[in-house]
Amino acid sequence: MAITKVGVLGCGLMGAGIAQVAAQAGFTTVVREVNQAVLDKGLARINAILEKDVSKGKLSAADRDASVARLHGTTSFDDLADCDLIIEAIVEQLPAKREVFTALDALCPPSTIFVSNTSSLTIMEMAAVTKRPDRFAGLHFFNPVPVMKLVEIVRALTTSDETIAALHEFTRALGKTPIDTSDTTGFIVNRLLVPFLLDAVRLLESGVATREDIDEGMKLGCGHPMGPLTLLDFVGIDTVYSIANIMFDEFREPRFAPPPLLRRMMLAGHFGRKSGQGFYKYE
Ligand code: CAA
Ligand code: NAD
């Protein structure tokens, strides 16, 4: 199961990061978006990060150019037909994910491995719409992808040992550390992180403290790099709202239920950093 060409679905926060690290690690990479405008925005973000790394002396101009040459953007599924690995990083909604996997299953050869970067959906629900449930798994990256060292490798009931081994090798080739988890909603990290983030919203809602003091408390009191409300803005309120609903549906425990404020922010389009407004305002 040699991987040389990688397809990435979605060039948002996560897809852009995944496409960047795959191209930098030497893989020919094709990233697909829904239209040219969104694609251009995602590719421009990747170029800006690479440019910053060059100006900091972290990356040579030659390596930057080689990475950019390995990275191709497209709005068509056809350009992903000869990929060895397809990594899906579109919106956290099951019908949309099932639709893209159905389309690609008809295009790609049986040998292509499909993975989803989902935060909370069940991998088996996506694998089941394809004819390759043994070559289907979860590959869960963390935000920001170029910085965070972890990847969760999620084994669905049907995933083969060969697929898991190929994903371990791929993760290591990206310079990241894999951990193994079963196909349980939220896997390891979000099972622990999401209730904590939702509790921070509940603290704010109930007037226990200001947003600044909640964030400062966890930064200075527990050494977190970001306070929970800043992290919610960073991950995306729309994404966390979907994750919380999916986790609540699965476990039926109140700690996973999205707090009312999160739902209102979602309805108002206050998606966090990506929309310019969340718990904080961004330029
Ligand atoms: N892309 C690429 N590089 C980035 C970046 C980005 N979006 N953001 C920051 N960086 C780099 C910077 O260039 C900088 O690199 P150097 O040290 O080489 O100069 C480095 O990261 C540190 O950045 P800053 O100095 O600007 O800021 P910082 O020290 O506050 O670090 C941070 C920023 C790495 C994001 C840090 O705040 C952090 O680790 N935050 C927590 C992130 C986290 O918890 N992520 C997990 C979210 S949950 C998830 O992803 C799972 C899910 O399913 C929802
Ligand atoms: P995002 O909203 O930043 O990006 C999603 C992108 O997918 C958009 O640009 C959208 O245009 C695109 N897209 C491509 N094809 C699509 C299609 N057919 N239907 C709908 N949208 C399509 O979201 P994100 O934060 O990058 O999250 C993407 C996935 O990664 C989600 O499953 C999310 O749960 C997961 N994830 C997110 C984080 C995070 O911190 N944000 C961390 C780990 C995993």
**What mean pLDDT do residues 256-282 have?**
98
pLDDT at 1: 65
pLDDT at 12: 97
Q: Whose CA is nearest to atom 42 of ligand 1?
A: 143
* Residue ranges matching CATH 3.40.50.720 in the chain: 5-182
Q: Where in the chain is the domain with CATH 1.10.1040.10?
A: 190-275
Question: Which CATH number applies to 190-275?
Answer: 1.10.1040.10
pLDDT tens digits, one per residue of 30-57: 999 999 999 999 999 999 999 999 999 9
Ligand 1 centroid to 269 CA: how many Å?
24
Which pLDDT tens digit goes with each residue over 186-209?
999 999 999 999 999 999 999 999
- Contact 112/86 with Cβ under 8 angstroms? yes
Residues with CB under 6 A from ligand 2: 9-15, 33-34, 38, 89-92, 96, 100, 117-119, 141-143, 235-236, 239, 274
Q: Is the pTM of this model over 0.95?
A: yes
ipTM over 0.95: yes
Which atom of ligand 1 lies closest to the CA of 119?
53
Tell me how far the alpha carbon of residue 115 lies from the centroid of ligand 2, in angstroms: 14
Q: What is the best residue among 53, 92, 147, 224 to mutate for testing ligand 1's pocket, by most ligand atoms within 8 Å of CB?
A: 147
Paired sense of beta strands 136-141 and 150-155, if any: antiparallel
- Distance from the alpha carbon of residue 242 to the mean position of ligand 2, in angstroms: 11
Identify which of 244, 266, 134 has the alpha carbon closest to the alpha carbon of residue 196.
244
For domain 5-182, give the CATH number. Answer: 3.40.50.720
Whether ligand 1 lies within 6 angstroms of the CB of 142 is answered as yes
